[in-house]
Structure 1
Amino acid sequence: MNQFKQSRRKFPSLLLAGAVALVATAACESATRTNDYRINHKIAVSKETVTLTVKAPVGEGGLVGLELANFDKFVRRFIDGGHGQLRIESASGSKAEEAAALQMRQKLLESGVRANDIDLASGGAGNDAIVLSYDAYVAKAPDCENWTKSATYNWSNQTHSNYGCSIQRNLGQMVSDPRDLESAKPMAGADGERNAGTAGNYRKAAKGGGKQESAKGGTGK
């Protein structure tokens, strides 16, 4: 009988201890997680240098086969997501390397790279080779494997531990230029030809052209 009474006395204490533990757990979770899935499942963006080594001298016919395919892929990636200039580096400055560097510069221009985006420099790989390189940004999407939290009831009333992760993962894998996730590109300059045309149409309308257009565009009565 005494043991039963002692157990009854301990039962409320156990309930209180359990409640305190749950509250403490919820408080710890609140301190580390937010209701913003963009923070809980952040896309990591890092900078890397993309390189392509080309043996010198390049044949009279230019790059062929696998070298040409790698070059075309390299240029497309630079145009789509490269930052800064595309560097053409040669180590020894030999005639073969200089000739190959000039060939690569011409090939880049023919492939759509602007002249002011190309930088001829020294300090490449050497061994009768030149190195093409540029800087790019890479996105590391979250893995979305955190299913530790219950999907039903929780004391903190927060979103599920995996909530919004798939959105972030898809965005990280689809974004064309990961740097856009850090800061937006500056606005491009206005189209001068378009502005001149708009101003010309405005002047015509001010001289009566607008009234003529209005009459033509009526109900037809």
Structure 2
Amino acid sequence: MSMQMQTAKAPGVFAQKSGPSARRLSGILAALLAAPLGACGVQRTLPPPVTPYDHHDRHPVVLSDAPQVLDIFPSSLHGRIDNDTQGRINEFAARYRQFGHGQITMLTPVGSPAAVASAGEANAVRRALAFAGLGGNFTTGTYPVTDPKLAAPIRLSFQSLKAKVAGRCGEWPRDLASGSSVDGWENQTYWNFGCASQATLSAQIADPRDLANPRGETPSDIELRMRNINKMRRGEEPSTMWRLKATDISQVGGGS
């Protein structure tokens, strides 16, 4: 029985070989040694946050060119405009001068008894627009009444810069309590969350341009500044001093 003797090698020492196989082995070893060093420069992707979708990103408030509409309903003063309606038209005209462009459109309803009542006040609306300074800057037209049971106002409109939510509120693309899938199990806000708040905010913006950039600074109040400087020179407190008078709750409203 013959035994093949193998040459023992010290640990960590490779046998000296020559030829193409040795060169391939050397290339593989170099690549393996360089891999840990190359991993130091790799950009790692961080895990998503617990709530990845913010309602400001889902329902952003945007500036768009949209119509401003004012509906004029018939009043008890047949053929005339009451003071409240005249005030609304004046406000409408002021907003047009500030943000509007193009012409104002006045649409008169047709096709119902209510439309006949509104059409009778069309001349009064024209006079009210002229009184507000917009006499020759509007066009007229008609629109059909689809439901004769509803009121049919005279509709004034113009195009202007307006802040509004980009999408629609009230959409529910996913089930909040799905029993057949894991939809809605994540710790995330539902799709419609925050849309009403964004819509309310956009409706309350007096000047939509304030959402894009701040307003310019106004001149300072010289009298107020000098009064505060003089107080500081005298060693007095320049801030506003509020004086509160304690009143018993039983005395509020004239009670004894």
Q: Same fold (TM over 0.5)?
A: no
Structure 2 length as normaliser, TM-score? 0.38
TM-score if structure 1 supplies the norm length? Answer: 0.43
| Higher RCO structure (Cα 8 Å, ≥6 apart) | 1
